[in-house]
Amino acid sequence: MFKITTRFFFGKSIVLTKYGEWNSIMKKFIKYKPIGVIRSPFKEQQGTPIQAKFATGTKGVIELFNEFCEGLEGLEAFSHLILLYHFHKAKGFNLKTKPYLEDVPHGVFALRGPRRPNAIGITVVELEKIVGNKLYIKNLDVLDGTPLLDIKPYIHYFDVFPGSKAGWLEGHDEKLAQQLRISADNRFNEKE
């Protein structure tokens, strides 16, 4: 897969290993600077809805940093936004954890919880209006003060896959789940 390329400069041969290049990129830290902050009524993990779907009507505001406001052009015409953010209150991670909806542990990449190797969260929210640098949004499962990394428009042509499989979630009665576990408990604070 990775070729070793030999080049000649001034009669000398230099061996460039593409693997070496790739390896050094993968070992680098990737830095992201927040583009804004999410304001929500939820101050702590416990009691916060576990998904936006269970947070119907919860209102919040995105305060976008002024330097990014020009990038909002055209966004007001979308009804829903995909928010990518940093779970800033998440502490470490476990590769296997019990999710809110089951008492059986699953791998972190088959889960949506905050304690993960890269603490990145994703939530689809409803956009009510944009006023200046403020985006008024609904249906939040995010803590107040969460650093926002990116906003993308939710586009049903791209983001809906009818007939998709839901892994270990298949067979869960959604209504029952809503009644029992719509809010987070303390499990993602505890080391297992």
Should residue 151 be labelled a site residue for ligand SAM when binding is judged by CB under 6 A?
A: no
Binding to ligand SAM, residues 104-123 (CB under 6 A): 112-114, 121-123
d(CA 54, CA 50): 7
Instruction: Confirm or reject binding of residue 54 to ligand SAM (CB under 6 A).
Output: no
Give me the phi and psi of 176, to 5 degrees please.
-65, -45
Which amino acid is located at 96 in the chain?
A: K
For residue 37, which of 72, 85, 81, 77 has the smallest C-alpha distance? Answer: 85
Instruction: Rank residues 126 and 141 by Cβ distance to ligand SAM and give the closer one.
Output: 141
- Pick the closest to residue 143 from 46, 68, 69 (CA basis): 46
The burial of 162, by beta-carbon neighbours within 10 Å (0-12 exposed, 13-18 middle, 19 or more buried), is given as exposed
- Token representation of residue 139: 């249906």
Under the binding rule (CB under 6 A), the answer on residue 137 touching ligand SAM is no
- Contact between 94 and ligand SAM by CB under 6 A: the answer reads no
Nearer of residues 24 and 164 to ligand SAM, judged by Cβ: 164
Helices (H), the chain: 18-27, 156-159, 174-180
| 184 near ligand SAM, judged by CB under 6 A | yes
User: Nearest distance from residue 66's CB to ligand SAM, in Å?
Assistant: 22
Among 67-75, 142-150, 154-162, 174-182, the segment contacting ligand SAM (CB under 6 A): 142-150
Q: How far is the CB of 123 from ligand SAM (least distance, A)?
A: 4
How many residues line the site for ligand SAM (CB under 6 A)? 21
Binding site for ligand SAM (CB under 6 A): 45, 48-52, 87-90, 112-114, 121-123, 141-143, 146, 184
